[in-house]
Structure 1
């Protein structure tokens, strides 16, 4: 575990980029001597490295210090209804390796075997000096996975098996690094906070559209998960549909719903899950899904804004940037058509991570726990 001031420096450089010691001292309020000691220790530990000197000013050239990409490595396991994916990221949050397996339903024993085999392969491929720098594994999965069968009356035994046991403990038995676990949508929200563009407000609601749709909540620059770890569970939120019926958001705004709409109209739905951005989807069912998803999202956002007074909402998901932009636009239009006296309608923005948000969010769990402080910690006015 890093000392607080070391974490403070690492957090600031991660957010603002490489900078000289004088700038770090000014922004953190630490003395120049304290910053020099901290930077020297972090450089010795291989977490920071010197950049090229910046010349052209009076006095000695300043030397920016930045993160060493090989300073630490993190594993992130995303468990989804359609597939599981495990990534290895470096200290900059760049994916160095990934493996994915598909399944009809995930089973605990299948995921544990996949994770252990893949971690072993990743470690074998790392240079020996880097293996000890693997700082932990994060796991992102939908909580209460057994609740989300094809229908409430037909839950698969594979999903029911998730009710018992502890997958973090099961995987952790095989390795000597810590294992963390988080709701998948909250983890995706964490990826946006740690790795995404840093021009976000201190409070925002986050929506991730995957096989299910889920949410995350950031308050005072920190992901808030609640006592059960399932805060901002937008997928469960009841919303009024266009025909006046009451349904959950997961029923109208999930990609599983888009898949079903495509199949019912005789189309191949494999393109929904393709990682390629140039995989076109038939416009008629896609337009129908976009309209109903935007309608549901707008109502869920208004309900959330009434309770927590968020002024910004980020929408991301397992989709191309173009499709994400269209969903953001349609949701914005739906919000503009709503009249809700007494509240300010939030601004809707696209997320900045995309398909890798849940995997990167899982990898951000050990990174945040071992090397970072809250984003607000370095703000001195």
Structure 2
């Protein structure tokens, strides 16, 4: 289906993650005109597809739309049609999402990796604008990456380029959802951050209860936003969890810098709600681990402009291109 979409038209962007589905009506300047949210069904699969369709119908009821862009936390085929593998979403492998949505809605469809979509939003309208080359890390349930060089989104030969979250950092490490062992995602993602916090709470229940009291009082009720509030209130368990996560990310950034030499690295996803509580130790760790540290400029480490909305904005823009 042709993607000739006029600049005056509205498109839908949908961001599918391990815990939530975000959808929005987006104009050609990257502005979100209306937004909605659903929880990602734990069963994934057909239940997830039905939720995606509900989001599309809700948004389409508010405005005529000319295309649908999908951002998904997954490996995506080179033709941007099929979800190949989604480590953090159940029953969501080898799903020809583009074909199914095109059949059901008769609109142009683009399916893109969530970090690539978010990278594109930040490059076109956000914190990455003007930098070349520029990297992007999206830190949510997992850890994704995007890379723009010479104004083009780098996808590689088969669509799996810039999967920065799956660099191996521990030979005897934690099993990753991708099937490999010791990926950086297992040490510098939102899931890892929560693991560090829960370990700290178990080691010091009294101090840990200060964190839990910000929620429903239980470990099962602990969320990233609660942990961020605790860190901002100077709770040392929460601060230690962020510092551990930041140390791993900073070490990875040091290695990637020598491979790709980016002018800037944009950090997005839910973890960025902590702001400089997270970014400052990331920069410090990058400096500690940087090879040839005194011989070259380090990349700028910058918070993403669009936060959790970057994926849906980027997807809505990509369907126009």
Bin for the TM-score computed over the shorter chain: 0.7 to 0.9
Gaps of 5+ in 2: 76-83, 174-180, 202-207, 213-218
Whether the 8 Å CA contact 2:133–2:261 is kept in 1: the answer is no
Of 187-196 and 281-290, more deviation after overlay is shown by 281-290
Matching residue within 236, 252, 261 for 2:187: 252
Give the corresponding residue for 2:230: 281
> Is the radius of gyration larger for structure 1 or structure 2?
1
Deviations along 1:82-103, one digit per CA (max 9) or x if unpaired, are 1112211123322222222213
Give the corresponding residue for 1:183: 113
Give the corresponding residue for 1:143: 74
Question: 1:1-381, aligned counterparts within 5 Å?
Answer: 47=7, 71-103=8-40, 105=42, 107-126=44-63, 131=64, 134-144=65-75, 148=87, 159=90, 161-197=91-127, 199-239=129-169, 247-264=182-199, 265=201, 267=212, 268=219, 272=223, 280-281=229-230, 283-319=235-271, 321=273, 323-341=274-292, 344-367=297-320, 369=321
Change (3 A) 1:307 1:339: closer
Gaps of 5+ in 1: 8-44, 48-70, 150-157, 370-381
What is the TM-score of this pair, normalised by structure 2?
A: 0.77
Deviation at residue 343 of structure 1 after TM alignment: 5.6
Whether the 8 Å CA contact 1:186–1:217 is kept in 2: the answer is yes
Pairwise CA RMSD:
3.0
Whether the 8 Å CA contact 2:266–2:304 is kept in 1: the answer is yes
Partner of 1:348: helix, strand, or coil?
Answer: strand
Deviations along 1:114-156, one digit per CA (max 9) or x if unpaired, are 2222222222222xxxx2xx2211111122575636xxxxxxx
Deviation at residue 197 of structure 1 after TM alignment: 4.4
Whether the 8 Å CA contact 1:197–1:352 is kept in 2: the answer is yes
Deviations along 1:18-75, one digit per CA (max 9) or x if unpaired, are xxxxxxxxxxxxxxxxxxxxxxxxxxx7x5xxxxxxxxxxxxxxxxxxxxxxx21111
Give the corresponding residue for 2:204: none
Deviations along 1:292-312, one digit per CA (max 9) or x if unpaired, are 222211221122122222232
Give the corresponding residue for 1:64: none
Larger relative contact order (Cα-Cα within 8 Å, sequence gap ≥ 6)? 2
Partner of 2:66: helix, strand, or coil?
Answer: strand
Q: Distance in 2 between matches of 1:320 and 1:335?
A: 17
Give the corresponding residue for 1:29: none
Partner of 2:115: helix, strand, or coil?
Answer: helix
Deviation at residue 364 of structure 1 after TM alignment: 1.8
Deviation at residue 202 of structure 1 after TM alignment: 2.1
Whether the 8 Å CA contact 2:143–2:189 is kept in 1: the answer is yes
The runs of at least 4 aligned residues of structure 1 exceeding 4 Å deviation read 144-147, 268-271
Change (3 A) 1:2 1:81: closer
Partner of 2:105: helix, strand, or coil?
Answer: coil
Change (3 A) 1:295 1:187: same
Whether the 8 Å CA contact 1:305–1:343 is kept in 2: the answer is no
Across the two proteins, how many residue pairs are aligned to each other? Answer: 283
Partner of 2:289: helix, strand, or coil?
Answer: coil
